[in-house]
Amino acid sequence: MNTDGLMEMSFYSATARRRASQLVDPGTFSELLAPNDRLVSPHLPELGEAVSFDDGVVTGVGRIGARPVFLISQEGRFIGGAVGEIHGAKMVGIFRLALQAYETILDREGRVPEERRPAILISFDTGGVRLHEANAGLLAHAEIMDMIQETKGKIPVISLIGSKVGCFGGMGFVAAATDVIVMSSLGRLGLTGPEVIEQEIGKEEFDASDKSLISRTTGGRHRYIMQDCNVLVDDTIRAFRRAVEEILALPYEEICHYRRIGTYPLVQEQMALVQQAAELMPGDSMDVWRCYGNDEPELLPEWELSEFLCAVRRRPKEVP
């Protein structure tokens, strides 16, 4: 099998299982609750909906160097990657195992060496709660947010967003709450999906059929300008993998500087941003890009990624 060829593969079109296995060192990925466990949703059949042996999420563990890396990789093709009872519990399970691994190393050695500090990677591809088992999905989101707070000061959590469905609904704030966000230009991140805004407020507010509007409002480049996305990469598994390696090579303290929320000073910085929103009231993201010194904002989506990264002016950060 030619692993190099697979690494050049588009992250956007890769299945959840492929993304999970290729983000860690070759041959180190072990899937937990793999398809042969045959644990399928007990709720979907009641509604006549097809089931999947992984419930739309691949969970497992691998290594990058000496570091144990715990993975969650969502499959957007299965009911839009939506989170039901099993899917949500698998995500919670990964957080539990990663935190336990941290505690185990700490107990044994009295400290956790940087190069062996466990990490969590989440490859998002989801619209949030699965309506067919909505209540369980909702409650799982709360557990995941609780777990993310529990990781603070212990282990890094990195979000990877560049798949078909993007990352919306409750998973939009789960991603925001993690330490680092890596996206490709094709990645989408938000809370309320375009269709829902159109339905709730009207086509004048948001035309959900306008692909470039969606990209400008929720896409990787916009999120990078806003400092929500920390690292913007090409659409290959290799590029995401390299970004993860580079981030994890940093001391944990430095990784924490990538956060956008999660402390009082960061919240105050975001409040200043909301103040700016109220004053500017942009009709389009391009108004915001211009305000940060991008004189020809309409060109930003057109550039090659390397050109974009050289030329773009991002929101100035106040909290280092």
Partner 1 sequence: MEQMIGRGREAITMIVDPDSFQENQVGGVSFPADYGPGAVVGTAALEQQPITILAIDAQAVNPRFPVVYFGIIGMEEAYKMACAVYETIQADRQKPVSEKRPLLLIVDTPGNAPGKVEEIYGMNKATGAYQLALAEARKCGHAVIAMVIGRAISGGFLCHGLQADHILALPKAYGTMIHVMPLTSISRITKIDVEQLEVLSQENPVFAAGVDFFYQLGGVEEIVPDPGRMRERITAHIAEVKALKSEGSFDRSGPWSRGELGAVRGGRRTRKAVLAQMESEFSAIADKYIK
Partner 2 sequence: MALNHLEFSYDGVAGASIPADWSHSGVVGSGDMEVLLTRKAQGGKVVVKVCTPVCGFDQVWDKVLAHFVAESGCGDLVIEINDNNATPFIVSLRLQQALSEARGGDLQ
Expressed in angstroms, the distance from the first to the final Cα of the chain is 44
Binding positions for partner 2, 124-153, rule CB under 8 A:
none
Q: Which does 107 bind (CB under 5 to 8 A by kind): partner 1, partner 2, none?
A: none
**Residue selected from 50, 106, 271, 299 as contacting partner 1 according to rule CB under 8 A:** 271
Identity of the residue, 15 or 28, whose beta carbon is nearer to partner 1 in the bound complex? 28
Binding positions for partner 1, 146-175, rule CB under 8 A:
146, 148-150, 152, 169-170, 172-175
The whole-angstrom separation of Cα 253 and Cα 124 is: 24
Binding positions for partner 2, 33-62, rule CB under 8 A:
34-36, 38, 40, 44-53
**Residue selected from 71, 243, 247, 288 as contacting partner 1 according to rule CB under 8 A:** 288
What one-character DSSP code corresponds to residue 188?
B
The whole-angstrom separation of Cα 25 and Cα 130 is: 32
The residues, any chain, with a CB within 8 Å of residue 63's CB and separated by 6 or more, are 24, 25, 28, 69
Half-sphere exposure (CA, 13 Å, Cβ side) for 264? 0
Identity of the residue, 78 or 102, whose beta carbon is nearer to partner 2 in the bound complex? 78
* Alpha-carbon dihedral sign for residues 158, 56, 189, 214: positive
Q: How far is the CB of 196 from partner 1 (least distance, A)?
A: 6
Answer yes or no whether residue 246 interacts with partner 1 by CB under 8 A: no
**Residue selected from 200, 254, 304, 318 as contacting partner 1 according to rule CB under 8 A:** 200
**Nearest partner of 15 among 147, 125, 121, 126, judged by Cα:** 125
The token duo for 89 is 């519990």
Binding positions for partner 1, 222-241, rule CB under 8 A:
222, 226, 228
Binding positions for partner 2, 56-115, rule CB under 8 A:
75, 77-78
Q: How many helices and strands (H and E) does the chain possess?
A: 13, 7
User: 41 exposed, middle or buried (CB, 10 Å; 0-12, 13-18, 19+)?
Assistant: buried
Binding positions for partner 1, 75-104, rule CB under 8 A:
85-86, 88-90, 92-94, 96-97, 101, 104
Q: What residues make contact with partner 2 under the rule CB under 8 A?
A: 1, 6, 15-18, 34-36, 38, 40, 44-53, 75, 77-78
